Structure 1
Amino acid sequence: MKIPIVFARRFVAGETADQAIEVVKTLNQEGVKTSLDLLGENVENLQQADAAVQEYRELFDKIAAAGIDSGVSIKLTQLGLDFGLDACLERTSQVLQMAQEKKLFVRIDMEGSHYTQITIDAFLALLKDFDRVGIVLQAYLKRSMQDVANMANHHASVRVCKGAYKESESIAYHSMDEIRAQYKAMVMHLLQAKCAVGIATHDDKLIDWAVAWVEENKIDRSLFEFQMLYGLRRNKAKELVAKGYRVRSYVPYGTHWFPYFYRRLRERKENIFFVLKSLLVD
């Protein structure tokens, strides 16, 4: 039985690009930039990966036609990564070329830990030919400070998040204090290297720390932005915009929304209550 998208509406902007773009227009009016994410991961064959490339072509055309302030986030397993790096690079290069022609920025999402190294390898290969591309690093992975140093050496654009996949304690911190400590170290290292950084968090402790640290260290505001998931912390986003900070909302859409929705529910039990409330309150 297919679960109706009404359950996910708090976190997913719709099942079509047109629905998502209407959400983006509203966010843009509030001063919030966006990154559209066509949901889907781990395609079953390369024909599905090719279909995703075509969907991105259509999405880029719609973004340009709508005149909205939005980039795009992609997952490499949606573009054939499970079928080899070469197959994925071929398709991802097509996506980045189309985005470059429209002057759109593309963020490569990080997936589970077994994809971390190959995603970094793919990103660095693509970075040789494309400049409107960035990557995501996860603060709960114990390896991430090494990856931050590598990205800083390449002057890469990095989105720093805590991480939402279930990982073993052997490779990932499970203590929030340890995750926050590494998160801060990652952001500081990247900004001190003058990399563009997406400070992606809903955690007030990290947001308050980041605001204080960038002001104390006189970090150029053009180097960073706060990033949040659609459906979460909208008032906090407005508050940061009012203070003159750049804020970007990650706006997912599409028919393959359940894995993303499930990760949001697993992250925080409060999200389950948000979903139940949305079913009862108009």
Structure 2
Amino acid sequence: HGVFVTIDMEDYSRCQKTLDIFKQLKKEYDNVGTVLQAYLYRTVSDIEDLKDYHPNLRLVKGAYKESPEVAFPDKKDVDENFKKIIKMHLLNGNYTAVATHDDAIIEYTKQLVKEYNIPNSQFEFQMLYGIRPERQEQLAREGYTMRVYVPYGTDWYGYFMRRLAERPANVAFVLKGIFRK
């Protein structure tokens, strides 16, 4: 039916299997993408490995508690790696979904696409429903594609809570949204 499907990424133990499934599906279908997590050391090499597949990727910071053997323990390093993979993937010419509520990452992406003349049709911002709706509207008014996604299914609550835990300040955004209505 032409519906685009993004294969989400879970914890490190499932990372390689998820990418293997993505590669297999990508050989047959154009309407499939996946997610890469900036907090994993392996992500830069994953972007290189996937380059020939011309993947549509959602890039995220990462929301699971992982061992320092496989993931950056410091937020500063995660943020730097996030910027690095955004730049790599965009400059490879592939569609990039920058899934973040972090203003520093959003502003970095806006500057990057301006500097390299990357068209708005090659990327989008993504945020969870209920978190920072004013920022979502602002990005849309500025002409950026702004996708708002809603966790759905039997494990929606766990997914939502992991996203909140990823950045505790998100809890404040959710509470403000609830009490504003």
Partner of 1:251: 150
Q: Residues 276 and 235 from structure 1, CA distance in 2 versus in 1: closer, same or farther, beyond 3 angstroms? A: closer
In structure 1, what is the Cα distance between the partners aligned to 2:54 and 2:164? 34
Q: Is the 8 A contact 2:90 2:96 kept in 1?
A: yes
Partner of 1:223: 122
Partner of 2:64: 165
Which amino acid counterpart does residue 203 of structure 1 have in structure 2? D
Which amino acid counterpart does residue 234 of structure 1 have in structure 2? P
Partner of 2:39: 140
Name the % identity.
43
Q: Residues 189 and 247 from structure 1, CA distance in 2 versus in 1: closer, same or farther, beyond 3 angstroms? A: same
**1:19-54 CA deviation, whole Å, 9 max, x = no partner?**
xxxxxxxxxxxxxxxxxxxxxxxxxxxxxxxxxxxx
Q: Which has the larger radius of gyration?
A: 1
Which amino acid counterpart does residue 95 of structure 2 have in structure 1? A
Of the structure 1 ranges 252-261 and 193-202, higher mean CA displacement relative to structure 2 is found in 252-261
In structure 2, what is the Cα distance between the partners aligned to 1:196 and 1:279? 33
Q: Residues 258 and 150 from structure 1, CA distance in 2 versus in 1: closer, same or farther, beyond 3 angstroms? A: same
Partner of 1:233: 132
In structure 2, what is the Cα distance between the partners aligned to 1:191 and 1:267? 24
Partner of 1:267: 166
Q: CA RMSD in A?
A: 1.9
Offset of 1:267 from its aligned partner?
Answer: 2.5
Offset of 1:278 from its aligned partner?
Answer: 6.8
3-state SS of paired residue (1:173): coil
TM-score w.r.t. the length of structure 1 is: 0.60
In structure 1, what is the Cα distance between the partners aligned to 2:59 and 2:170? 21
Q: Residues 165 and 129 from structure 1, CA distance in 2 versus in 1: closer, same or farther, beyond 3 angstroms? A: same
Offset of 1:128 from its aligned partner?
Answer: 0.8
In structure 1, what is the Cα distance between the partners aligned to 2:146 and 2:178? 28
3-state SS of paired residue (2:151): strand
Of the structure 1 ranges 140-149 and 223-232, higher mean CA displacement relative to structure 2 is found in 223-232
Identify which of 15, 28, 41 aligns with 1:129: 28
Instruction: Report 1 or 2 for greater relative contact order, CA contacts < 8 Å, sequence distance ≥ 6.
Output: 1
In structure 2, what is the Cα distance between the partners aligned to 1:273 and 1:224? 27
**1:64-86 CA deviation, whole Å, 9 max, x = no partner?**
xxxxxxxxxxxxxxxxxxxxxxx
Q: Residues 273 and 222 from structure 1, CA distance in 2 versus in 1: closer, same or farther, beyond 3 angstroms? A: closer
Offset of 1:276 from its aligned partner?
Answer: 5.9
Offset of 1:191 from its aligned partner?
Answer: 1.1
Q: Is the 8 A contact 2:131 2:174 kept in 1?
A: no
The 5-angstrom pairing of residues 50-69 of structure 1 reads: none
Gaps of 5+ in 1: 1-100
**Alignment partner of 1:183 is 2:85:** no
Offset of 1:277 from its aligned partner?
Answer: 6.2
3-state SS of paired residue (2:58): strand
**1:197-223 CA deviation, whole Å, 9 max, x = no partner?**
001111111101110110011012111
Which amino acid counterpart does residue 124 of structure 2 have in structure 1? E
Partner of 2:91: 192
Partner of 2:106: 207
Gaps of 5+ in 2: none
Question: In the comparison of the two structures, how many residue pairs are matched?
Answer: 181
TM-score w.r.t. the length of structure 2 is: 0.92
